[in-house]
A and B are shown apart, each in its own frame.
Chain A
Amino acid sequence: MLRHIARRLLHLIPMLLGITLISFAIIQLSPGDFLAEARMNPVVSSETVDRMRVSFGLDQPLHIQYLRWFWNALRLDFGYSFAFQVPVIWLIGSRLMNSVLLNLVSFAVAWAIAIPLGIHAARRQYTLSDNVLSFSAYLGISTPTFFSGLFLLYLAFRTGWFPIGGMTSIDHDFLPWWGKILDVAHHMVLPVLVLGVLSVAGLMRQMRANLLEVLRQDYVRTARSKGLAERVVINKHVVRNAINPLITIFGFSLGGLLGGSAILENVMGWPGIGKLIVEATIQKDLYVVMASLVLGSVTLVAGNLIADVLLVVSDPRIRYD
């Protein structure tokens, strides 16, 4: 097991090398650069733009730029943002926890709702409640987040029940500690609803399908025929066997803890890294884009690794060595 984990972590290095090299090349070789805005400013002379180019190191040959970046990145120095003139680490760090918080809460809400609903739907296959759940699931899956986000913002505007976007109110700093928590929770209701509904739909369908699969197994019939209570059959035997694919999904969604809400953050004004990354990509703020790619890749690999470990824990049949 430990050897497996170590091997997976070692694989990360060539993978990161490949991802960063390709992205670096794509960003740098596509036409236009970060200085476009300065170039279009009538007040800024071309000499000033050239000076900026030199000070950003953009005048160096591409392979030098990349190697310099990679060498620094290995030592966890991700460079400075062109636009903000602050370390990329600070820029991402200042917004990272906001994204993690939003995604973790939506994640928890989604799983807490989806698993019981999936079990319920599978046990009452083709009944009215199953059909209603299936229908809502399709609706949930097919609604894009930017649409439901906008819709809920409009609702907040009409009713006045929820703040219009953002994460804290302007008087946040005057509140006691519990007031601060309530304030953030109040702002979080709508974004969590959007993200949660989206994943509930998919997870519930997955859980339902897995459970139906297992319910058809011989050992389930055996368990029922020897007179075990239905509650025990489902919870102890069926669910434990049906959960494996969901653990894989769980690991995969851990990778989305940072970037999963990017679109919604832009719609709802949630101060996470999503908005930062989208803007950096459009402006070609090179090192911000590179650092976020590294971050995304690492969390994705880590998520899958965690899923592998959890699989071993939950299912004794699985071994890696």
Chain B
Amino acid sequence: MRGMIPRLVAVAIAGALIVATPVIAQSPRLTLPDVANPLVAEGEVGRYGGTYVTTSISDPRTFNAIVAQETSSTVPLSYSFDGLVETNRISTEIEGALAESWTVSKDGRTWRFKLRKGVTWHDGVPVTADDVVFTLDAAFTKGVQSSLPDVLTIAGKPIQYKKVDEFTVEFKTEQPFGPFLRTIGFSVLPKHKLEGALKQGASEFNRTWSVATPPREIIGQGPFVMQQYVPGQRIVFLRNTKYYRVDRKGQRLPYLARIVVVVVPNLDAARLKFEAKETDHYSARPREFAEFKQKEAAGNFTIFDGPPTFSTEFLVFNMNPRGISGPKLAWFQNAKFRQAVSHAVDRDAMVRQVYAGRATAQFSPVSPANKFFFNPTTRRYPYDPARAEALLREAGFSKGADGLLRDAAGNVVEFTMATNAGNTDREAIGNLVRQDLTKLGMRVTFAPEAFNTLVGKLTGTFNWEAIIIGLTGGLEPHTGQNVWRSTGSLHMWHPRQDSPATDWEAEIDRVFDQAAQMVDQNKRKQLYNRWQEIVAEQVPMIYFTTTLTQPAVRNTLGNIRLGFGGTTANIEELYYRTPYR
């Protein structure tokens, strides 16, 4: 798909002009009988047939692509549903999918998307602008359990959208909106199949296309057609013979005849199945990397030295006067205290002991995997107990003869640190952090709790002291606004403030406001750089490490390339090199 970027941009800017230009004559334009302008995949030319078998550790929860939230639903649904645009796995640029081109008005507020003609739903009905409009109508219907409106509400106003003609949709935002293209890749749903359900109300719509719906009624436009779902066992997909993408020779994709997603109880079972050659793909855990590397030849697979994940692990202190009070609130609100803790945490020990070397120390809220927005020059906190003690002294703390740390008023520094029980990595991290902080003279009780209880405290009662937890992330920093704005409900250390409690929180609010309204990505990057600097300076969240991914894939599969989203996100291009099973 890399080859597509120049062409798409050219089409978008120059419109019809490019068709008349003879420059592209050297590569003959590929067409399909039904799709005049198919999307040309950039991978190598493969061969047809074969079954790709992968695993999921949970059952899907819904087959409604805009209601789906967690990966056990969204990954299988991505085989059957495409959006207007998608993210290139290698360059992370936005490229057309159902949309073949788009234009943006001079004021940066009006976006016009031209749909690819001849694309059909799995039942043969054409995909039109009505479907795009319907999908958004559904998402914005009160009571429909979709998080799409959260992403598509800009400066408090939902985006406006309308059909211009059969194959053109127009979007209008209240203000110029920088991350617009990154938010518009939602799965498009078929109006002709779901209109009736939406008319009966939101709760009926939420329940239509549930896991109880016969899979053949789940009609998408993606590369594979859902064929069967056996609860607790597997989901089966068959090749979509009318897909709108072709390879470089003009042969219609996808190559694979069938995909089977096997539901397994846990990662250990997934691993055994992969090693027994029952499956073709396994996302190995950090500690398994070295072992899998040795088994590569015998197991006929390749384990990739994958990119870092987008998710984060961190320690956060409660700075919310509605939640705690007294000396503890004063310690936690003191930036020097938090900086000292950050210096006291031995991240290298964590990398070695918890992740077997498959992680790197992290100091910014942005994962280094996010190459465009990551700011590598923020303040860092290497392991330095002496520096930590100095910082604590500056903040008025002192270590007594009994080895305990006391604040200026003589209170012993002690607090309870929680995490969600059952997450073994976080429990191991918690134990290391407790040891590190004990060396400073703090008295830390480490008490893992049930996930639901923990979240109840974080977002509801605010009755907690310190918590080790993690968040998932994405390419676009704007999607983290619920965490970073002082009004956000996930602004964990002090959620839902009426007005920012500190100057630095006020500045972060301003950065997020400004960056959202900017279309120039480089200017946005400058603003988000500033945000990362503030966070690294104030350490409201003490980040630990970014773990690396290590996907393992059977060598029988072709077109496997490591990219954003792993090794097999280009599912339509995968093929069997060898005669298949």
Interface residues of A (CB under 8 A from B): 30-34, 36-49, 51-52, 55, 80, 83-87, 90-91, 94-95, 98, 150, 153-154, 157, 160, 163-168, 170, 173, 265-272, 275-276, 279, 282-284
Contacts and interface: CB of A to CB of B under 8 A. Distances in A.
A168 B234 CA distance: 9
Interface in B199-236: 202-203, 206-207, 210-212, 228, 230-234, 236
B8 to A, nearest CB: 26
A166 to B, nearest CB: 6
B276 A85 contact: no
13 contacts: A31-B456, A32-B455, A37-B70, A37-B455, A39-B455, A85-B145, A86-B211, A86-B212, A91-B231, A164-B273, A165-B272, A266-B266, A269-B263
A281 to B, nearest CB: 10
A43 B233 contact: no
A164 B461 contact: no
Most B CB contacts (10 A, CB to CB) among A34, A86, A95, A268 go to A86
Given A55-B203, A85-B62, A85-B207, A39 B234 contact: no
B265 A41 contact: no
Contacts of B273: 164-165
Given A46-B496, A173-B228, 20 more contacts: A31-B461, A32-B456, A33-B452, A34-B452, A42-B483, A43-B479, A46-B489, A51-B143, A84-B61, A85-B210, A95-B232, A150-B268, A154-B272, A157-B276, A164-B269, A166-B264, A168-B233, A266-B265, A269-B265, A271-B233
A4 B283 CA distance: 58
A185 B459 CA distance: 48
B150 A36 contact: no
Categorize the interface residue count of chain B: 35 or more
Contacts of A87: 212
A86 B482 contact: no
B275 A33 contact: no
B548 interface: no
A173 B455 CA distance: 43
B282 to A, nearest CB: 13
A32 B496 contact: no
B452 A84 contact: no
Contacts of A272: 232
A42 B490 CA distance: 7
Interface in B263-308: 263-266, 268-269, 272-273, 275-276, 278
Contacts of A55: 143, 145, 202-203, 206
Given A36-B451, A86-B212, A170-B234, A157 B265 contact: no
Interface string B136-148: 0000001101010
A150 B265 CA distance: 12
Given A32-B456, A83-B61, A168 B230 contact: yes
A167 B233 contact: yes
B262 A166 contact: yes
Nearest to A87: B212
B68 to A, nearest CB: 11
Contacts of A279: 58
B13 interface: no
Contacts of B454: 32, 36
A86 B211 CA distance: 7
B155 interface: no
Given A43-B151, A269-B264, A90 B212 contact: yes
Q: Give 6 closest A-B pairs by Cβ, nearest first.
A: A271-B232, A32-B452, A46-B489, A36-B455, A32-B456, A94-B231
Given A32-B452, A269-B264, A48 B149 contact: yes
B69 interface: yes
B457 interface: yes
Nearest to A265: B265
A166 B233 contact: yes
B291 to A, nearest CB: 15
Contacts of A48: 145, 147, 149-150
A83 B211 CA distance: 11
A52 B212 contact: no
A36 B264 contact: no
Nearest to B474: A43
Nearest to B53: A170
Most B CB contacts (10 A, CB to CB) among A43, A45, A47, A165 go to A43
A42 B471 contact: yes
B480 interface: yes
A42 B479 contact: yes
Contacts of A36: 451-452, 454-456
Contacts of B149: 48
Contact of B459 (A39, A150, A284): A39
Given A40-B471, A51-B142, A33 B482 contact: no
A170 B260 contact: yes
Contacts of B268: 150
Contacts of B70: 37
Contacts of A154: 272
B415 to A, nearest CB: 19
B211 A84 contact: yes
Contacts of A160: 276
A241 B44 CA distance: 77
B499 interface: no
A160 B278 CA distance: 11
B105 interface: no
Contacts of A98: 232
A164 B278 contact: yes
Contact of B265 (A44, A86, A165): A165
A169 to B, nearest CB: 9
B450 interface: yes
Contact of B147 (A41, A150, A170): A41
Nearest to B210: A86
B461 A44 contact: no
Contacts of B212: 86-87, 90-91, 94
B51 interface: yes
Contacts of B266: 266
A261 B231 CA distance: 17
A85 B206 contact: yes
Contacts of A276: 232
Interface in B426-459: 450-459
A228 B473 CA distance: 81
Contacts of B230: 168, 271
B21 interface: no
A155 B456 CA distance: 42
Most A CB contacts (10 A, CB to CB) among B228, B231, B272, B461 go to B231
Nearest to A284: B452
B95 to A, nearest CB: 22
Contacts of A170: 51, 53, 234, 236, 260, 262
A268 B233 CA distance: 12
A84 B210 contact: yes
B472 interface: yes
B94 to A, nearest CB: 18
Contacts of B228: 173
A149 B309 CA distance: 33
B79 to A, nearest CB: 16
